[in-house]
Structure 1
């Protein structure tokens, strides 16, 4: 069993400024269908849709500093080249095909957004957003244009400057990170792919392809590059000159970088009119596009699918999406060496059909999260595909927070069951459903009922003297009472234990024909709520989940999944006192290790002197040197019945109360019985006999238990008899009850 852990990041906070008005840290944007890419300890977030407009601002999240950063734009626009650069007349370019720039530092108070870009933004604001629905049926049969749309054409449509209504997008940025160049127009549903140089880790680019601009019948067909070389300290937007045949308009597509081939593979989604499944590759060194000719089981047309490249195997995975009629849950694998598609049969439980989910490759596995299912219901499940086993693993969430529910509404108290199996700690958890939360129906299926794990005796958490809390040291495990531990060896019999190795328990299937079960992963912590259109970004062993939407709710919360959290030493085994408590009952009337035998009405009852001496001062004195019983292995007990003495012995070993009064008839002379053939008078006699033995062996707690049971029998007919019993056994509580009745018998 593996353990993974969710944690929430306080990403929506703004860290304010440090006294410099030009160094303000923004809060997290509330968006969906954006892109997030990781490089050099920063997450690069671009684009997205917030329900009103497309975003064009580039934001960075510093993982080390745990804050959002808006890069500081440098340079004024002096020509159509755009923000942050001045293109020299004559069309001079650098070797990479990007316009040669002359950086002109801006004056204080200068606009951060170029006039040309403002014109584009104004056009987007004047025309209502035509945000395509994920399930919109596109008109078939129309070919998409393969021509790249030049940014100058867009910028020349309207050049009138205006004051943007969303000022927060254009305030001065953090001067510790500078950015220049002409940013892409605002968009969503695009792709952002990191391409790095294997020989120079500082040389990296983020390639932005396609998306939805909010206008026109087709998706965007342009491509923009963000140069993030030199560790991302100086950023630059540019549009490179490309050759070959580009993919054309594409939206809700997927793009993955294949390092061995130095190519970005684009599995095309929709173009604004139809769903597509063509595959294209861009060589990041030569900027040459090619259409990838493939063989095998080619995936059907779809959009809003997800893909991931698994570098260990050189395979590209494509999952799910929307084909215009239904959501999909098929998985296809492309061998990038042979360009052959396969559609393998994966073991385990196949995820529900969905679109708008994320697929992330990490350490030989594919991690799927969220998405939109039938009737646009959002998911919040984490699914893990193990490539070696080619199976979806059994993922058990440690606890779940329903989407839209406040933290203080969630009932987080849980019972946990820790067990030691094969030398590793197992933790099982079943969430408590909040009182105001109804069962969640997903694809016509209701969630299974929730169960509570109780303590070893089935009574739930208890507290008592000598039971100290054991702190695990993190918010996942919380505090666990020592008495609540259950070990694989806690339910123990010495004969059985002697025949078993201590290394663990062998789990065998009761049915030899059962199929092999897949590996189990337990997810600790509260994960993200239901969503689609979010991002999932792999950073080392972690996956960062950000944004998305669920219905009309647009999100900006931030979570991280640690797929390999560091192990923590913790106390998982029961204490010695708890073991004694748990195991003592196994020795009740058991001949093993017995060193004294009681003869009661000619029948044997086995005992252990140490146990009896611990509980009863009478037995301790009896076994002390100088008494005849101390040297005898057999002791005869007179003046009591075998059943009564056995009940007292069971109480000594287990603490169990004598159960002789299930049905109480206050009239001892009644012939009514308890359903087992025992009349009320028989039950009364049995309790009195146990009370006498409890007094005889100095078992004060048992005496009080008997007094509480006898209290129900006290009435006008029995009070004189029970008064004599109380005086004989020194039962002071029973004596007071009887005397009270006798004082007030005239008022009854």
Structure 2
């Protein structure tokens, strides 16, 4: 018994180790979804925040002037909405770029930015009521940070922390906090190893820590990483010597935290280079990993935008490519970028059919800096940005938690249930005509045909062709498998589909036992079909039960799917809580 328990424990540990590795891998496997819109602003160095299923884009530079426009992307319809302010036009903020926007409840706090006149960088604070669309210029007290441009800002408890960046003349490394109740500024006197001065860096918040990465120090671009402990007010540099791999030095990138993981995209490098790579940093092990971005191959709305077009259907691969063509026809992209998009259309078959897993498409993601990156559920929306003189009029969505897919493929083009061969095959199920093998269950006989079963299952083929005792026997006694389970599997093979009685359709225990026996006989096609059937039966009420049974039967796809579904529910609950707090 001790030996059996030890064996079980080792098996269970192996399963959980496998799940952990899959979870680590899925964080670096990202699907690219994208659409092109004529209303999408062609800007860089703007700000973006999420509020109630909308992304609010403010300000930015369009290659000619600073803007003070507000663009609103409805994430349900993917339509850009035109705001109607409650203010007169002379009460709106001046046009600016390089500012920051932070959302707290139903207010968007806009801090600083380059306004291009006078002292150039602003020290103003504007607040937009996102429900009333009313701007207010706020008066503050205390030790203000002064003019700030290309800085970063993060909300923590009842304060907004600003790591200043530049003022248009020089670079800083000072940290200031704004109490959003009293509107009093304080300069944070922090201990530890503070970052050297910089601007155009990136930051994000995880728990009680602000992370600062990269930027421009006036002479060179950086790729160092620091964190500020907001409880202890202490800086720590994360040692690069420990990194196995790391992103190149850059500025103008964007970072965001998801489930205590940092994602970073894009940025500008030295000698006019620009990046289109997506990186992941895990604070638990202090390691960077570059993500593998592939084109979304699924038409499933769970794995795409929700309601992207007016019909409510998700934007799939075909529509994605059509949108690229339409964008080029309408002149939405500069001429040198049209070539890349046409190459994407020309090479779409390669994208879709590289070892069945999709081809990495970092080369098709336009390099950019000065863009924004906003999280909605499991999607990172990357909007605007530029590469040199090229300003992008598109937005991209990267699915950082794509729906798990069954990795075993089979060709159903010639084996569909409507095919004449399989239609005719049905009549031979449990039919003694031409039968050359019988399965016995305590005296009850099931008639079958060796050639058919050998084609359908690897174990059957081995049993009947490699000189095993069953090779020369016409009657095979089945032990340790329930008769109804074995009959379901054999009938399903003859019918080319999962054949269940009405009362068996929702029986999870029965289906998992069918799955176990299919795995035992290496019937890959049935393994797929049974898992798909179980997946269709999963609800919020039974998901925990299905997960436990999937662990028990080592059904790796169903384990991944249940964990994914639980995360999706968590995303939805988190958004609902945020929306409820602002009502």
Match of 1:323 in 2: 217
Structure 2 vs 1, CA of residues 404 and 302 (structure 1 numbering), >3 Å: closer, same or farther?
A: farther
Structure 2 vs 1, CA of residues 337 and 404 (structure 1 numbering), >3 Å: closer, same or farther?
A: farther
2: CA distance, partners of 1:238 / 1:568:
49
1:556 Cα deviation after fit: 2.0
Equivalent residue in structure 2 for 1:240, among 135, 138, 141: 138
1:567 Cα deviation after fit: 3.2
1:538 Cα deviation after fit: 1.5
1:608 Cα deviation after fit: 11
Counterparts of 1:459-498 in structure 2 under 5 Å?
none
Asked which structure has the greater RCO (Cα within 8 Å, sep 6+), the reply is 2
Structure 2 vs 1, CA of residues 211 and 394 (structure 1 numbering), >3 Å: closer, same or farther?
A: closer
In the alignment, structure 2 segments of 5+ residues that lack a partner are: 1-24, 297-323, 325-335, 416-451, 475-583
**Secondary structure at the counterpart of residue 379 of structure 1:** strand
Q: Is the 8 A contact 1:191 1:253 kept in 2?
A: yes
**Secondary structure at the counterpart of residue 271 of structure 2:** helix
Q: Is the 8 A contact 2:278 2:290 kept in 1?
A: no
Q: Is the 8 A contact 2:277 2:290 kept in 1?
A: no
Larger helix fraction of residues: 2
Equivalent residue in structure 1 for 2:108, among 181, 187, 206: 206
The list of structure 1 runs, each at least 4 consecutive aligned residues, that deviate by more than 6 angstroms after superposition, is 574-579, 581-584, 607-610
**Secondary structure at the counterpart of residue 239 of structure 1:** strand
Greater C-alpha Rg? 1
Match of 2:126 in 1: 224
Structure 2 vs 1, CA of residues 430 and 69 (structure 1 numbering), >3 Å: closer, same or farther?
A: closer
Match of 1:540 in 2: 377
Match of 2:343 in 1: 409
**Secondary structure at the counterpart of residue 342 of structure 2:** helix
Q: Is the 8 A contact 1:403 1:530 kept in 2?
A: no
Equivalent residue in structure 1 for 2:398, among 561, 573, 576: 561
Q: Is the 8 A contact 1:413 1:432 kept in 2?
A: no
2: CA distance, partners of 1:432 / 1:4:
11
Normalised by the size of structure 1, how large is the TM-score?
0.45
Measured against aligned partners, the alpha-carbon deviations of 1:546-574 in whole angstroms (never above 9, x if no partner) come to: 00001100112111122222335575368
Match of 2:182 in 1: 286
Q: Is the 8 A contact 1:348 1:394 kept in 2?
A: no
Measured against aligned partners, the alpha-carbon deviations of 1:90-138 in whole angstroms (never above 9, x if no partner) come to: xxxxxxxxxxxxxxxxxxxxxxx4xxx4xxxxxxxxxxxxxxxxxxxxx
Aligned residue pair count: 364
1:397 Cα deviation after fit: 2.7
Normalised by the size of structure 2, how large is the TM-score?
0.57
Structure 2 vs 1, CA of residues 5 and 430 (structure 1 numbering), >3 Å: closer, same or farther?
A: closer
Counterparts of 1:706-717 in structure 2 under 5 Å?
none
Match of 1:395 in 2: 291
Aligned Cα RMSD in Å?
3.3
**Secondary structure at the counterpart of residue 543 of structure 1:** strand
Counterparts of 1:270-285 in structure 2 under 5 Å?
270-285=166-181
1: CA distance, partners of 2:48 / 2:453:
51
Equivalent residue in structure 2 for 1:593, among 467, 471, 476: 467
Match of 2:196 in 1: 300
2: CA distance, partners of 1:579 / 1:193:
63
Q: Is the 8 A contact 1:192 1:209 kept in 2?
A: yes
Match of 1:333 in 2: 227
In the alignment, structure 1 segments of 5+ residues that lack a partner are: 14-26, 75-82, 85-112, 118-181, 197-203, 419-426, 434-439, 441-525, 596-606, 611-748
Measured against aligned partners, the alpha-carbon deviations of 1:347-403 in whole angstroms (never above 9, x if no partner) come to: 341100000000111111111000001112110000011222321124223269996
Counterparts of 1:605-684 in structure 2 under 5 Å?
none
Match of 2:275 in 1: 379
Match of 1:187 in 2: 96
1:408 Cα deviation after fit: 2.8
1:4 Cα deviation after fit: 2.7
